[in-house]
């Protein structure tokens, strides 16, 4: 992308980010306003509920305390009436009555009207009477009396010597005084209060201001089942949000205008020079090292021009050396690949033919004759040549291998396969695996098998005992994986322990190629491990390989 377009895109991106930040910030603030108001509405609703529960609880406790006066159990007596009058005068109740256990009203007192006519009437079917006779202090549903008042009746049992002998029934006028307004007065000016009975009848209403687009929160009183609804208009919040939106919009216009002026100045001052410089770097990226640039403006741009042109001249010189080296390296790799193909197919196939014909000649050679010795020499030499081609092929594979081809390889099946393969080639040897082999894996490639195969074969080929004994063991610990190949052979002298892994080094008088240990060390190094030889007890040598465990 051209520098100019990139710069314009950057300016546009900054503008979009700033605009998005303002919009998101505004929305966040708006959400915070609504969240705050909802929390305030919840708090106000719980507060009204608590206060109303407290007031109703106080009325219940007043009724229960009044019912403890024994004079109220003397039905129809003057003392019962006087006690009931005193109870009404000293409480906030508008009236009270006593109903005997058989449901007959014995006394009634009210602060207005003539309720005495109800004395002697049967009230046994009234819910508040039955609930109180069951031992409950009961708060009734609000009802409209004949006087037009909305009355709440609180009934509690009267007991004498542990026996319920009637009920005390206190009547509270809900429209009396400031009972409900006192709760509405605790709310904010824009909040309203509605109270409905359990049956859904509206008991009290104080509308919010303004009374439009309302948020509402409801709760229910535990004692009476009344529904309390506190409401609030969203209009004031929306007005505050609009004011904030205008303020933030003005700020955004100012910031974007400043950004546009700054972008224009940067473009006029530096962008033209930067585009020329970027074009030069694009040419260098395309290996066009003969490129030269000319920059104008401040002294800093002149210094950049000089440095860039000097860099191009230097890169141009190095490019010519590197191209020649890469051509030589590519030719060597092609030659190595060709050699690898020859070793894999032509020479190995010819040697296999030699061995096959040697096996056929064995049937025609007299046992014990000089010809038999010649044939054995031919077979041994051909076998060693096959082994040499195998080792050389593996060396070529190592040099051509890609380090990125490593993967997790489990050691248990690999070690067992190697031991079984070498044992089949050397029937006179005793090759064993020290059990148990741990379930562990290392990071390597398919050439890992060549490491252990060469070490095991080396232990057999260099052995001077009639029955070569080789033991392979594996240990897994926090430091990594350790594989030990121990034998009962002549061992390795101390002065040869460091150089035995060199190219072409042979140990004692053996038929080995001398490349197996070098190949093993090369591969182990590539896997990030280590290899060395130490003395076995009581005799022989131990080749030790450490490899990092695969994660």
**Strand-pair category, 227-233 with 214-220:** antiparallel
Do 134 and 199 meet the contact criterion of CB atoms below 8 Å apart?
A: no
**Residue that is written with structure tokens 């063991």 in the block:** 473
Q: Which residue has the higher pLDDT, 15 or 531?
A: 531
Measure Cα distances from 383 to 46, 242, 376, 388 in Å: 98, 95, 10, 9
Place 66 in a pLDDT band, splitting at 50, 70 and 90. Answer: very high
User: How far is it between the farthest Cα atoms of the chain?
Assistant: 154
What's the burial of 317, exposed, middle or buried (CB within 10 Å: 0-12/13-18/19+)? exposed
Place 394 in a pLDDT band, splitting at 50, 70 and 90. Answer: low
pLDDT of residue 513: 46
pLDDT of residue 511: 44
pLDDT of residue 39: 86
The mean pLDDT of 283-293, rounded to a whole number, is: 83
The mean pLDDT of 220-224, rounded to a whole number, is: 79
**Strand-pair category, 469-477 with 430-433:** parallel
Place 101 in a pLDDT band, splitting at 50, 70 and 90. Answer: very high
Is a pLDDT exceeding 50 seen at residue 189? yes
Name the most confidently modeled range: 41-45, 145-149, 328-332, 528-532. 528-532
pLDDT of residue 77: 92
Is a pLDDT exceeding 60 seen at residue 510? no
pLDDT of residue 399: 56
pLDDT of residue 337: 65
pLDDT of residue 175: 66
pLDDT of residue 342: 59
pLDDT of residue 362: 74
Is a pLDDT exceeding 90 seen at residue 488? yes
Place 424 in a pLDDT band, splitting at 50, 70 and 90. Answer: very high
* Torsion from C-alpha of 122, 123, 129, 131, nearest 10 degrees: 100
CATH number of the structural domain 69-173 = 3.30.450.20
**Residue that is written with structure tokens 């002149």 in the block:** 302
User: Do you find a cis peptide bond into 436, omega within 30 degrees of 0?
Assistant: yes
Do 128 and 140 meet the contact criterion of CB atoms below 8 Å apart?
A: yes
What gap in Å lies between CA 266 and CA 231, rounded to an integer? 56
Return the number of other C-beta atoms located less than 10 Å from residue 195's C-beta: 23
- The angle that helices 370-400 and 348-362 make with each other, rounded to 10 degrees, is 160
Helix (H, G, I), strand (E, B) or coil at 435: coil
- The angle that helices 299-341 and 272-285 make with each other, rounded to 10 degrees, is 20
Q: pLDDT, tens digit, for every residue of 513-527?
A: 457 788 889 889 989
Of 23-32, 58-67, 273-282, 404-413, the poorest mean pLDDT is in 23-32
Q: What's the mean per-residue pLDDT of the chain?
A: 82
Place 468 in a pLDDT band, splitting at 50, 70 and 90. Answer: very high
**Strand-pair category, 202-206 with 407-410:** unpaired
The mean pLDDT of 406-412, rounded to a whole number, is: 91
What gap in Å lies between CA 10 and CA 262, rounded to an integer? 12
Non-local CB neighbours of 443 within 8 Å, separated by 6+ positions = 406, 407, 408, 409, 527, 528, 547, 548, 550
Q: Can you give the residue ranges of every domain in the chain?
A: 69-173, 287-400, 406-547
Helices (H), 159-298: 181-184, 235-266, 272-285
Q: pLDDT, tens digit, for every residue of 227-275?
A: 888 888 888 877 777 777 787 778 778 878 887 877 777 666 677 777 7
Place 429 in a pLDDT band, splitting at 50, 70 and 90. Answer: very high
Phi first, then psi, for residue 156 (nearest 5°) are -145, 150
The mean pLDDT of 436-440, rounded to a whole number, is: 91
Do 382 and 389 meet the contact criterion of CB atoms below 8 Å apart?
A: no
Of 358-362, 424-428, 503-507, the poorest mean pLDDT is in 503-507
Its CATH architecture, for the domain 406-547, is 2-Layer Sandwich (3.30)
Return the number of other C-beta atoms located less than 10 Å from residue 415's C-beta: 21
Is a pLDDT exceeding 90 seen at residue 155? yes
What gap in Å lies between CA 63 and CA 289, rounded to an integer? 104
């Amino acid at each position: 992308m051209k520098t100019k377009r990139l710069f314009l895109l950057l300016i546009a991106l900054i503008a979009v980010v700033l605009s998005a930040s303002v919009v998101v910030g505004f929305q966040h603030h708006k959400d915070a306003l609504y969240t705050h108001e909802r929390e305030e509405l919840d708090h106000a609703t719980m507060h009204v509920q608590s206060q109303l529960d407290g007031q109703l609880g106080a009325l219940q406790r007043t009724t229960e305390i009044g019912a403890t006066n024994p004079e109220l159990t003397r039905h129809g007596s003057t003392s019962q009436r006087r006690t009931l009058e005193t109870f009404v005068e000293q409480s906030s109740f508008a009236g009270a009555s006593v109903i005997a256990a058989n449901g007959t009203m014995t006394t009634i007192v009210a602060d207005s009207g003539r309720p005495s006519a109800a004395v002697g009437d049967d009230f046994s079917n009234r819910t508040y009477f039955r609930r109180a006779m069951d031992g409950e202090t009961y708060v009734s549903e609000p009802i409209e009396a004949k006087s037009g008042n909305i009355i709440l009746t609180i009934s509690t049992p009267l007991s004498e010597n542990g026996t319920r002998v009637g009920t005390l029934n206190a009547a509270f006028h809900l429209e009396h005084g400031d009972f409900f307004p006192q709760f509405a007065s605790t709310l904010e000016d824009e909040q309203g209060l509605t109270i409905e009975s359990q049956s859904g009848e509206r008991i009290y209403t104080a509308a919010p201001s303004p009374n439009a687009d309302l948020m509402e929160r409801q709760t229910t009183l535990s004692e009476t089942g009344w529904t309390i609804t506190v409401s609030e208009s969203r209009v004031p919040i929306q007005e505050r949000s609009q004011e904030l939106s205008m303020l933030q919009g003005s700020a955004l216009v100012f910031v974007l205008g400043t950004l546009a002026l700054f972008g224009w100045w940067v473009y006029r001052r530096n962008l033209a020079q930067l585009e020329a410089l970027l074009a030069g770097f694009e040419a260098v990226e395309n290996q066009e090292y003969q490129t030269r640039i000319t920059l104008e403006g401040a002294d800093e741009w002149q210094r950049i021009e000089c440095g860039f042109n000097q860099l191009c001249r230097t890169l141009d010189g190095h490019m010519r050396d590197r191209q020649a080296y890469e051509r030589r390296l590519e030719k060597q790799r092609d030659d190595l690949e060709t050699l690898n193909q020859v070793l894999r197919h032509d020479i190995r196939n010819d040697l296999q033919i030699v061995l096959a014909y040697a096996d056929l000649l064995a049937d025609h050679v007299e046992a014990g004759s000089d010809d038999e010795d010649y044939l054995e020499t031919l077979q041994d030499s051909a076998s060693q040549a096959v082994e040499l081609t195998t080792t050389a092929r593996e060396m070529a594979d190592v040099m051509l291998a890609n380090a990125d081809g490593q993967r997790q390889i489990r050691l248990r099946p690999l070690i067992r396969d190697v031991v079984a393969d070498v044992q089949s080639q050397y029937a006179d040897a005793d090759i064993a695996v020290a059990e148990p082999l741990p379930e562990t894996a290392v990071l390597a490639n398919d050439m890992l098998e060549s490491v252990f195969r060469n070490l095991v074969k080396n232990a057999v080929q260099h052995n001077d005992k009639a029955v070569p004994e080789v033991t392979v063991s594996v240990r897994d610990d926090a430091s990594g994986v350790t594989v030990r190949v121990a034998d009962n052979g002549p061992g390795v002298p101390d002065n040869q322990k460091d150089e035995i892994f060199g190219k072409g080094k042979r140990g004692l008088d053996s038929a080995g190629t001398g490349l197996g240990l070098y190949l093993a060390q090369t591969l182990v190094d590539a896997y990030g491990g280590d290899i060395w030889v130490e003395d076995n007890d009581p005799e022989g040598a131990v080749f030790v390989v450490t490899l990092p465990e695969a994660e």
